[in-house]
A and B are shown apart, each in its own frame.
Chain A
Amino acid sequence: MSGRPRVLVIDDEPQIHRFLTPALEAEGFEPLRALTGAAGLAELGHRIAPDAVILDLGLPDLDGQEVLLKARAVYAGPILILSAREKETEKITALDNGADDYVEKPFSIGELLARLRVAMRNKLKAVGAEPVVRAGALEIDLVKRRVLKAGEPVRLSPREYDLLAEVVKGGGRVLTQRQLLTKIWGPANANDVQYLRTYMAQLRQKLEPDHANPRHLVTEPGVGYRFMGDEE
C-alpha cells in the first residue's frame, strides 16, 4: 500500500467496522480490522506495526485491559479506547495501563477522528521537543520554568508549576488523577484527590481567561485532566 497511515480497529461488532471503515478511508487512513482481541494482538505482533490502534474494551474472547497490557508490551504507538460512559473505573484503569485516550460510546465520527489525530501527533513529538507551549494568551516555557499570561509573568508556587507542566506535557492527552498525584505528590498520596482539586482551582484562577469556564485546563469528570491548546 501507499504511505497512508494504518489504523487497526479491534472490535467485535461488525456494525462498528461497517461505518468506521469508510470513515477512516475518507479521512486518509488505511483501516485494518480485527474482530477479536486475539486477532488484534496477532496483527500487532506479526505485521509491520500499525500507526494507531482503536480498541473496544468489551471483547468476547479476552478482557479488554488484558489486550491493552499485552499490546503495550509490543507496541509503543497511540492506542485509543472505546468504552461506555458509565464505566469510569474501566477508563481510568485503561489510561493507567497505557492507553493514550478514550472515546465514549456512542460517539460521533468527528470526535473519534479528532482524538485519534491528537494522539498520533503527540506520539510523533518526543516529550520536551517543544520547549515553549503557547495556548491562547498563555506562554509556558518548560525549560526556563516560566509562565506568561498576555506577556506578563505569572507567579506560581513550585507545586503549581509542576502540576501545570505535567498537564501541558500531556499535550491534549488525559492524565488520570492517580498519574498526576503520583508524579507530583508521590505514590503515598495517590488517592488524595482534594490536593488536585485545590491546586487546579488555583491554577485556573491565575491562568484561565474565565476560571469558571476553563478552556485550557479541562476536567474529565471522574477521570482526570487534559490540556487543550488552540486548535480543538
Chain B
Amino acid sequence: MAPGVGKTYEMLSSGARRAAEGLEVVVGVVETHGRKDTEALVGPLEVLPRKPIEYRGRVLMEFDIDAALARRPKLLLVDEYAHSNAPGSRHPKRWQDVEEILAAGIDVWTTLNIQHLESLVEVVWRITGVRQQETVPDLAFARAEAIEVIDITPEELRERLAAGKVYVPETARLASDRFFKVENLTALRELALRRAAQTVDDALIGHMRRTGIEGPWAAGERILVLIGGDPLATSLVRAGRRLADVMDARWTVMHIERPNQPMSPAEAGRAAAAFKLAEQLGASVMNLSADDLPGAVLQYANRNNITQLVIGRAKGRRWRVLFGRSLAHVLLERASGAALHVITDATPGDSEPLPRPGRRPSPTGYAIALGAVAVAVGLATVIDRTASGANLAMIFLLAVLITGLSAGFGPAILAAGLAAVSYNFFFLEPRLSFAIGHATDLLTFAVFFVVAVIAGSLAGRLRDQARATSRRAAAIGSLLTASRSLSAVATRAAAAKALAEQAAAAVGGAAVVLLPENGEIQPAASAPLQGDAGVKALSTGAMAAARWAWEKGEPAGAGTGTMPQVGWSFWPLQGLKARSGVAGVEAGLIMPGSDEERLLLALLDQGAVGLERAELASASAEAQALRRSDQLRAALLNSISHDLRTPLSTVLGAATTLLDYGDGLKTPVRRDLLQSIREEADRLNRYVGDLLDMTRLEGGGLATRLQTTDVRDVLGAAIDRVQRRLGKRTLARDFPAELSMVEADPTLLEQAVVNILENAILYSPDDTAIEVAAYEDRANVVISIEDEGQGIPGPELERVFDKFRRVEQPSDRGQGIGLGLAISKGFIEAQGGRIAAASPIHGDLATGLRGTRVLISLPKAIATHHMLL
C-alpha cells in the first residue's frame, strides 16, 4: 500500500519458503535499500546479475531481462512492478519486462504500491497532492493470478518511518513528509483494501458465472465514454474505468471526428494517448467520423444498449458548444434510458503540461479576413465616390465569401463581423460613427450581418469539406499508386523497394523495409536511397527495435511502449498468412492517430500482402526450376538408357554373331558386321563426349582459352572430322579470301561446329547439299551452316537448343542424343558469341518447305589482320 510496509520483505520470505520446499526460485531484481533483515533473506536465494546501463554519465544497474529469460526459473522474484527502466533498456517499464517473462512461461512474484495503479493515479493525487509518474496499467495488474495485501496500520508505518526503517530517497524527503500523513496513509490503506476486495469479488463473480450460478451482479450495464482531443480525455478514460469497475460493466471509449473540423496535431496526440490508456485499462475503443456529434453518439448508444454515458466539460471548449448549448445539454435532452455523467476538469492544482490546444485556423486565416475587409472598405469608398447609390453591402459580402473560401470557417465569421462593423462605420449614415441614423438602415444592417454570417460560415464549411475531401482523395490516390506499384513487382526485393518508396512519400521522410534473411531480419530497402548499397544502415538500437517488432508482431520504437528512444518507429508487416517483414519510418514524422498514420498503416498492409505475393511467386519459380531439373534428370536417364544401350546392343549382337556364326558367313556380311561394330563404337564415343561436354557446361567447369583465331581454319578442321559421315551428301564451303580474326577458343568452336554439322547430316537425306559459309559485318564474323533437310517445325525452333531436345522423325529415328545443339550453344556463348537457327530456308508451299540455317556470330578480335600487315 505504501513504501515501508514490508512488501519486499514479505515477498522474499515467502519466496525463501517456497525455495525451501524445493521450488526453483530466482531473484530477478530486489531493492534491499541496505536493510539488514531484507538482505539476510536474499542470502540463500540465487540472484541474477544486474545489467549495467549507462545514462547521462551514470551507470544504472537494471534488471537483466535476457538473463532471466535464459535462466528460466520456475519462479522469478521481481521487485517494484511500477519501476521505470533506464532509457536504452528494451522496455520503458518494468511491468513490460514482466509481461515478456510471463509470456515465456515463467511465474513471477512482484510488488506494487497502490498509488502506482494507473486508474487510481488521479484519486491518489487528489488525496495526497503527489502525482505518481511511475504507473502500472490496470490490465497488467489484472493479469495477476493472486494478489496479497501487505497491510500495517498507518501509525505503525509512521513509527517505522521515524525509526529510519523506511528507505526514502533524499530528493523525495520533502514530499514524503506530506505523503506520510496519517490521513493519507489511511486513505491509501482503504484504497488498497477496496481494490483487493474488488479483485476477490471479480474472481468470485467470474467463478459464479462460469459455473452458471445466478448472482447479484448488475446485469447489462454498458458504459460509453466520449472523449475529445482536450486534456480532459485521459481523466474521462480513468473515470470510465472506475465506473466500469464499480458496475462490473463493459465499457467503450469513443472519439468522434468531425470532417469539417480537423483536429490539430496536439489534439490528435491527446486523443491517441487517451485511446492507448483506454486499451490498457481494458476498454474497447472506437473512432467514428460524423458531422452530427450528438446524433452519432445517441445512435451508437441506442444500438448498443448503453446505460451510462460519460462526457467531459472542459472550460472554454468551443466545439462542445452547439448553437449556444453544450453537448451535455443536447444529450440530456435527447438521450433516453441512459444516465449521463459529466466530468469537469476542475482538478486541484492542475497544471496542464501540454500546450494549450492550437486547433484554431492559422493566424494567416485571420489576416486574410482582416485584409479582405480592408480591401472591401477601400473598394467601396472608391465606388461610393464615383457611382453614388451603388449597393456597397454586396462588396462586403464578397469579402466575407472570399475569406470563407480561402481561409475557412473561423476567419469567415470574423470577416462577417468586421464587414458589418465597417459597413456601419464607413457607409451607413451617420458616417464614421457606429450609430445608425435611420430605422431602415438598422434593418439593412441587421439583415446584412445575418447574411454575412450565414454566407461566411457556409463558404467556410464548404472550403473545409473540400479540403477534407481532397485530403482523402490524395490518400486514396496514394494508396492506389502504391497498390499498382506493389502489384507490378515480381521479387521480394522489388516489393520492399516499392514499399519503402511509398512509405517515405506518405510520411515525407525516411522509410526502411526489413526482410528476413536466414531467420534474421535485415534492411532490404530504404527510401530515399542512402549509403553505398542504397540501403540505410540502422543503429544497433533501431535494429533491436525492428527485431522486436519482427519477433513479437507488435509495433516497436518511437511512439510505442517498446524502446521508444531509438528514433524510428517500426511496424510488423502482417500478410494474409504470415509476417513478411518489418517497416520503419523516422520518428517524429507522423502523429499517432493522424490521417498520415492511418494512410501509412494502410500502405503497410498492402505492402505486406505485396511481399507475400512476391514470396509466393518466387517460391513457385523455384518449384518450377526444380521440376525442370527433374525433367532434365529424367531425360538424361532416358538418354543413357536408350542412346547408349542401342549402340551397345549392336556391338554386342554383331560381335556375338561373328563369334557364333563367323565361319558360316560370307566375307561381305562379316565385313559389314565388323563395320557396324566400328560405327557404333564411334557413336558411343560421341555420346560419351557429348555427355562429358554437357557436364562440363552444367557444372561450370568449362575453361575457355580465348585466342586470336581464323574462323576458316576451324571450319576446315570441323569439316574434316565429319567427312566420313557425309555419305552421299555434298558439302560446299564458301569462305571469303580475307576475313577478320575473332577472339575465340578454337577447340570449343570446332566442337560446336562439328555438332551442328552432325545435326545437319542427321536430319537431311542423301543427295542433298550442306553449305558452310563465313562472312563478316562491322563487329562480328558470322558462320552460316545450311542444310536441305526437312527443316525444324516452327514451335520447335525456339527450343532446338534445349537439352535432350530432338525433332522426332516419323521413320528413321534421329540418332542424336539430343545434346549436340545445346552443347554448341553453351560453347559459343562461353566465348561471348551468339547462335541462332532459322527454318525453313528453301522451297515454297507448292514443292514443300525445307532446310535449316544455323548462324554463329563471334565478335571480331581487336587487331584485325589488316592492321597486322
Contact = CB atoms under 8 A, between A and B. Distances in A.
A86 B641 contact: yes
A190 B809 CA distance: 40
A19 B658 CA distance: 9
A22 B649 contact: no
Given A19-B673, A23-B653, A109 B812 contact: no
Contact of B651 (A13, A23, A106): A106
Contact of A19 (B645, B646, B676, B812): B676
A36 B808 CA distance: 14
B650 A19 contact: yes
A16 interface: yes
Contacts of A49: none
Contact of A13 (B650, B657, B808): B650
Interface in B638-689: 641-642, 645-654, 656-657, 660-661, 664-665, 669, 672-673, 676, 679-680
A16 B650 contact: yes
Interface string A1-38: 00000000000111110111011001100000001100
B811 A16 contact: no
B721 interface: no
Interface in A57-83: 58, 60-61
A12 B641 CA distance: 16
A10 B125 CA distance: 105
A60 B813 contact: yes
B43 interface: no
A109 B656 contact: yes
A18 B661 CA distance: 14
A84 B645 CA distance: 8
A185 interface: no
A163 B816 CA distance: 47
Contacts of A13: 646, 649-650, 813
A26 B808 contact: no
B661 A27 contact: yes
A35 B660 CA distance: 25
Nearest to A58: B642
A19 B652 CA distance: 10
B810 interface: yes
A36 B811 contact: yes
Contacts of B647: 15
B457 to A, nearest CB: 88
A158 interface: no
Contacts of B654: 18-19
B660 A110 contact: yes
Contacts of B648: 105-106
Contact of A18 (B673, B811, B813): B673
A15 B676 contact: yes
A108 interface: yes
A175 B361 CA distance: 100
B87 to A, nearest CB: 72
Give the interface centre of A20, A35, A86, A105 by most chain B CB atoms within 10 Å: A105
Contacts of B646: 13, 15-16, 105
B653 to A, nearest CB: 4
Contacts of B672: 18
A37 B735 CA distance: 46
B523 to A, nearest CB: 52
A107 interface: yes
B634 to A, nearest CB: 13
A109 B813 CA distance: 24
A19 B810 contact: no
Given A108-B656, A109-B660, A22 B669 contact: yes
Nearest to B813: A60
Give the interface centre of A15, A18, A19 by most chain B CB atoms within 10 Å: A19
Give the interface centre of A13, A35, A36, A61 by most chain B CB atoms within 10 Å: A13
Given A12-B813, A15-B647, A106 B652 contact: yes
A18 B650 contact: yes
Interface residues of A, number: 27
A119 B648 CA distance: 25
Contacts of A108: 652-653, 656
A20 B673 contact: no
A26 B673 CA distance: 14
Nearest to A20: B653
Interface string B783-826: 00000000000000000000000001111110000000000000
Nearest to B650: A15
Nearest to B658: A19
B653 A19 contact: yes
Given A36-B811, A60-B813, A109 B653 contact: yes
A61 B810 contact: yes
Contacts of A112: 653
A19 B680 CA distance: 12
A87 B645 CA distance: 13
Contact of A14 (B651, B657, B808, B812): B812
A157 B154 CA distance: 103
A60 B641 contact: no
A118 B459 CA distance: 110
B665 A22 contact: yes
Contacts of B811: 35-36, 60
A107 B642 CA distance: 14
Nearest to A87: B641
B816 to A, nearest CB: 14
A36 B656 CA distance: 25
Contact of A16 (B649, B661, B673): B649
Contacts of A16: 646, 649-650, 653
A27 B642 CA distance: 28
A22 B661 contact: yes
A33 B650 CA distance: 16
A7 to B, nearest CB: 14
Contacts of A86: 641
Contacts of B810: 60-61
A60 B657 contact: no
A216 B665 CA distance: 35
A22 B653 contact: no
A3 B651 CA distance: 31
Contacts of A20: 653
A56 B680 CA distance: 19
Given A18-B676, A84-B645, A86-B641, A106 B653 contact: yes
A60 B348 CA distance: 100
B680 A15 contact: yes
22 contacts: A13-B646, A13-B649, A15-B647, A16-B646, A18-B650, A18-B654, A19-B653, A19-B673, A23-B653, A35-B812, A36-B811, A60-B808, A61-B810, A84-B642, A84-B645, A105-B648, A106-B645, A106-B652, A107-B649, A108-B652, A109-B656, A109-B657
Interface of B: 641-642, 645-654, 656-657, 660-661, 664-665, 669, 672-673, 676, 679-680, 808-813
Q: Kindly list the 5 A-B residue pairs having the minimum CB-CB distance in the complex, ordered from nearest.
A: A26-B661, A108-B656, A19-B654, A15-B650, A106-B649
Given A13-B646, A15-B646, A20-B653, 20 more contacts: A12-B813, A15-B650, A15-B676, A16-B649, A16-B650, A16-B653, A18-B654, A18-B672, A19-B657, A19-B676, A26-B660, A60-B809, A84-B642, A105-B646, A106-B645, A106-B653, A107-B649, A108-B652, A108-B656, A110-B660
